[in-house]
Structure 1
């Protein structure tokens, strides 16, 4: 494969010889890329530099809105420019073209400093690397009983001062526990700052979720992971956050589909309950791409790559995943038989919309960023375009 010229060149790049996954499904067409954007999808392409994709599928680049790191590096080490670059280059080679950098719970001042450092990378996208579109704060306003891989020592209520500090940085997303004191006010403050608010790592009950949703909460973080479940109070069944999530109206939700976090039956339940509101996230960590036995950290929590997943040392909990998003779509396609068009909606179109990027990411249409992944029949990436620049795995 010959790499194309600079995407700023006036000569367009023409992707031909394959099927293009547009809104109505795969179609025989060419994609014309000019100056980093999709110029058109057409059966009569203009003259330009041609890349024959050899019958493969051209799909929208993947958008991962919940990922902590990869390739031995973590977004928490935001001052390490080379480390952040290594993550973003690693992901681009796997078809992931846009991410929200997720941060595990930490002290508020530490999180604030990390967000500022990551915003430098957001504002200066790297060539041939996934675009860091913003920051996802996974904490610190979480429930200790559902801490998972978060350090209980740093979890806290969303008091006005802490919320003002973090909301003032306008993170793209925050996950919080709706039952914590001050949660509804915090939701309101973050929504005003342009932040998507999600419920997660929580002991919430139905009323807690309803109150947070009324305040503006719109998303649910990794179903079945860090969610309270059904309890009995005498003879009465009281739904937890999990059941309230599955029965919700209007909320979007995510699953980690690495074949480790959730068995197939639970993935099928999520799909049937949420339908077009369900997305896939990787929750990948620095352990993604590392060999068995490798150790890595989520803030102050030490984890290990074990049996194809991350586990918290000394605890009965997963420590994020060690699988990137493209492999999750392959798993869902090969093992569960989910349709390709639906999978790219879950892994690209819908997450882009949730993150407020749906006007330029997640679709193959004129005017959108030329973020594309060209995949084999098993959905393994053959090549990726990030803003019109070709990246080979």
Structure 2
């Protein structure tokens, strides 16, 4: 029986460009060739019948989607490691193949225990890959806390910083408000431990942000959401965190592209200012995939699925999104009008690069075999993770030695 899969008749996202008539070879959990019938490995598979050949009929193959900011899905939050598989399976079914599990603010001990439990859990079948934990708190500002419970918000202590640094193989990303006491020292220690440090849920100005950038801060958590903007100090206008992040030539940044959090004009500003350093994230909560009117908890905050987004019950405020990354791809391309190749790059190669994973988010030899198949409306019709199809596999074309039939 063939142990190799060869996808033919496909358009493919390669180096942020959609290229037609490409073939993609997968062996075990890796992509081993991307090209045409002239490639020796591909030609051998075509002529010897050593592969399951799947003719995609012109459909688009993209790397699997990489979500660096998501709290859960389908009624399951990452705060509960024993049910995390429910969220990861739902996200995989939506074409999200790699996930940074985001934890909302809670007592420090609880957040660290949850991080360890998420890392220790056994991956189930048909789940998205967990590539680390993102602590979105508790080191954030009360005045920009959003849906985070203010009672848990703290400034980083030396002990907190050290304990997180010791978990650097698990905690891969931290959001911090740069104006907090101890933020610069924390940023330096975590950056040295190879943790991605991001500015967010903050009213910081240049005097706070720039020292943190010098200490290694490199990312901005969901532009405009939980961020202070410019204000006046006497007659002088002072840029807020939003403007400082947009003006930076160092920071990468993320937007929640669910059609609710940010209108097209703000998305376009981010695109023009940040350029290829801009990614999309879902900030999806356990309300993702649940019907309108469903109530859910975001840590200790009660939220509801309302008008296609999460809202805090009793407040006129958002509580994360309820939209998966594939839906955001469609929104940016179909409704906002951005080129599909650019939009997909924002959800594949760019986020993978931000967290230093050159084996994710790309269709290239040596990369992990995580990919999705999209139809003409950008609906996900097939998902492969680690070389295995999640759900029904496309039909393979029967082959005989010497011909591709």
Normalising by the residue count of structure 1, what TM-score does the alignment of the two structures yield?
0.94
Given that 1:108 and 1:166 are in contact with CA atoms closer than 8 Å, whether structure 2 keeps it comes out as: no
Q: Give the structure with higher Rg (CA).
A: 2
CA distance in 1, matches of 2:96, 2:76: 16
Q: Which runs of 4+ in 1 moved over 4 A?
A: none
Given that 2:66 and 2:348 are in contact with CA atoms closer than 8 Å, whether structure 1 keeps it comes out as: yes
CA distance in 1, matches of 2:139, 2:199: 10
| 1:158 paired to 2:156 | yes
Query: How far did residue 157 of structure 1 move?
Result: 0.5
CA distance in 1, matches of 2:296, 2:356: 31
Match of 2:320 in 1: 320
Superposition pairs of residues 129-208 of structure 1, within 5 angstroms: 129-170=127-168, 171-208=171-208
CA distance in 1, matches of 2:133, 2:152: 19
Given that 2:2 and 2:52 are in contact with CA atoms closer than 8 Å, whether structure 1 keeps it comes out as: no
CA distance in 1, matches of 2:112, 2:243: 33
CA distance in 1, matches of 2:265, 2:88: 32
Match of 1:77 in 2: 80
Given that 2:126 and 2:391 are in contact with CA atoms closer than 8 Å, whether structure 1 keeps it comes out as: no
Query: How far did residue 42 of structure 1 move?
Result: 2.4
Query: How far did residue 290 of structure 1 move?
Result: 0.5
CA distance in 1, matches of 2:95, 2:114: 26
CA distance in 2, matches of 1:349, 1:136: 19
Unmatched tracts of structure 1, length 5 or more: 1-8
CA distance in 2, matches of 1:151, 1:167: 24
Instruction: Give deviations 1:142-166, integer Å, cap 9, x for gaps.
Output: 0000000000000011111122222
Unmatched tracts of structure 2, length 5 or more: 393-405
Query: How far did residue 356 of structure 1 move?
Result: 1.6
Instruction: Give deviations 1:177-217, integer Å, cap 9, x for gaps.
Output: 00100000000111122210000000100121111100000
How many residue pairs get aligned? The number is 379
Match of 1:25 among 8, 18, 36: 18
CA distance in 1, matches of 2:300, 2:281: 23
SS in structure 1 of the partner of residue 118 of structure 2: helix
Match of 2:384 in 1: 385
CA distance in 1, matches of 2:5, 2:125: 17
Superposition pairs of residues 251-266 of structure 1, within 5 angstroms: 251-266=251-266
Normalising by the residue count of structure 2, what TM-score does the alignment of the two structures yield?
0.91
Match of 1:3 in 2: none
Superposition pairs of residues 7-26 of structure 1, within 5 angstroms: 11-23=3-15, 24-26=17-19
Computed over aligned residues only, the root mean square deviation of the Cα atoms, in angstroms, reads: 1.2
Structure 1 window deviating more from structure 2 (279-288 vs 189-198): it is 189-198
Match of 2:372 in 1: 373
Given that 1:360 and 1:367 are in contact with CA atoms closer than 8 Å, whether structure 2 keeps it comes out as: yes
CA distance in 1, matches of 2:92, 2:190: 30
